[in-house]
């Protein structure tokens, strides 16, 4: 699903990718000066690899690669289930990319490479489920991803409860 207009809202979809093969596959691609809000989507099986250069697929990609100078692409990604992809969310094309991404309250687990990978932009990826109450973040996210606090259950906070963890301890507030 490619979105190349100024503002999009992408809500309530299920996308099952093509799986393994010699191709690139993205459920949602945000670029070319676009901004998007993605909420309540289920995204899986985007695992193709382009043999020509080794590029990999992702559930969601956000990049300024095709943007007009002086503008940027961005996304707010909330309440989605992004599992079983090569990368869950890929942000950026290279070290010059300035995409703006906020990804909160998502289940971003079970992806084969990274849950979130960034070439340069700093990503707000706090309050997500990473597949474990105590994930190994060096294998789950790349540099430039702020992931703390994170959910320690797959459903996150509910009924006014806050369940979070940070770098050194876990907390439950009731």
How high is the pLDDT of residue 171? 37
pLDDT for 149-162, tens place per residue? 999 998 886 433 34
* Whether pLDDT at 166 is above 50: no
In this predicted model, what pLDDT tens digit does every residue of 30-61 receive, in sequence order?
998 899 999 999 999 999 999 999 999 999 99
What is the tens place of the pLDDT at every residue in 74-89?
999 999 999 999 999 9
Number of C-beta neighbours around residue 171 at 10 A: 11
The long-range contacts involving 134-139, CB below 8 angstroms and separated by at least 24 positions, are 134/165, 134/170, 139/114
**Rounded average pLDDT over 2-26:** 87
DSSP 68: P
* 168 and 145 Cβ atoms separated by less than 8 Å: no
Instruction: Say yes or no to pLDDT of 4 above 70.
Output: no
pTM: 0.87
Alpha helices in the chain (DSSP H): 137-140
Chain-centroid distance, C-alpha 17: 15
3-class SS letters over 46-63: CCCECCCCCCECEEEEEC
Residue 106 has pLDDT above 80, yes or no: yes
């Amino acid at each position: 699903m490619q979105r190349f207009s100024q503002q999009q809202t992408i809500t309530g979809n299920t996308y099952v990718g093509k799986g393994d093969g010699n191709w690139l596959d993205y459920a949602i691609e945000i670029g070319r000066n676009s901004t998007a809000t993605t909420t309540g989507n289920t995204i899986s099986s985007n695992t193709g690899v382009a043999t020509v250069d080794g590029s990999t697929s992702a559930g969601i990609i956000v990049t300024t690669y095709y943007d007009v100078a002086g503008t940027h692409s961005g996304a707010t990604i909330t309440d989605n289930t992004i599992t079983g992809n090569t990368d869950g969310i890929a942000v950026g094309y290279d070290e010059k990319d300035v995409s703006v991404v906020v990804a909160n309250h998502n289940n971003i687990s079970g992806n084969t490479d990274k849950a979130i990978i960034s070439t340069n932009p700093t990503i707000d990826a706090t309050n997500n489920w990473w597949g474990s109450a105590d994930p190994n973040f060096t294998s789950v996210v790349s540099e430039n991803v702020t992931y703390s606090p994170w959910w320690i259950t797959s459903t996150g906070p509910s009924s006014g409860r806050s369940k979070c963890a940070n770098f050194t301890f876990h907390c439950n507030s009731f």
